[in-house]
Amino acid sequence: MQKFRYVCAAILIVASGQLAFAEPAADSTPGKSVDGKYLDREGTPTYKVSADGTVDWYTYSGYRRYHSECHVCHGPDGMGSTYAPSLKDSLKTMSYGDFLGVVASGRKNVTSSQENVMPSFGDNTNVVCYIDDIYIYLRARANDAVGRTRPGKHEDKPEAFTQAENACMGKPE
């Protein structure tokens, strides 16, 4: 349900034409954990990587979701392609709210030499239901906290994740 609220908030921001162009949180260190999801000191979703390389569930899920929906255009490791820009680099300057807005509503950049179109994924439950996970994974990539390959170890899936996933996908409880 919390993911749904984030997406709805992003859609409302985009619809009102008031995108926030704030810098992303410079410090991605987890400030707290809520039901297995880590948040930085400003309340923005973030990643946690233990000394032994174990990643939190949301980073791992984000890796999986990124590779199911985003890598075709943005490259297998978030580093971009000839077709779409590097999200690893974009998340160094893009705020969480801007990320949600672009994913939900899409974006069109047209210049005299090229036309780049990011389609809207606001109706795609395979993206919207996991938008925080994708953001967390890309934030970890932007900060070189995780490598280019599938994380080898991850924390267990939190019950709150399963409940939110079922609610977002419309599965009965």
Is a pLDDT exceeding 70 seen at residue 49? yes
In the chain, pLDDT over 90 holds for what percent of residues? 52
pLDDT of residue 30: 82
Each residue's pLDDT tens digit, 120-144: 898 999 999 999 999 999 999 999 9
Whether 63 is covered by a domain: the verdict is: yes
10: pLDDT confidence band, cut at 50, 70 and 90? very low
Whether 125 is covered by a domain: the verdict is: yes
Whether 148 is covered by a domain: the verdict is: yes
Q: How far apart are CA 11 and CA 22, in angstroms?
A: 17
**How many residues in the chain?**
173
Q: Report the CATH number at residue 10.
A: 1.10.760
Whether 11 is covered by a domain: the verdict is: yes
Q: What is the number of domains present in the chain? A: 1
Whether 9 is covered by a domain: the verdict is: yes
Which carries the bigger pLDDT value, residue 91 or residue 39?
39
Whether 24 is covered by a domain: the verdict is: no
Whether 20 is covered by a domain: the verdict is: no
Structure tokens at 163: 């409940």
Range of the domain at 139: 2-15+30-169
Whether 143 is covered by a domain: the verdict is: yes
Q: How far apart are CA 117 and CA 65, in angstroms?
A: 20
Beta bridge partners of 116: 109
For the ranges 24-28, 33-37, 148-152, 160-164, which has the lowest average pLDDT? Answer: 24-28
For the ranges 33-37, 97-101, 169-173, which has the lowest average pLDDT? Answer: 169-173
16 alpha-carbon distance from chain centroid:
22
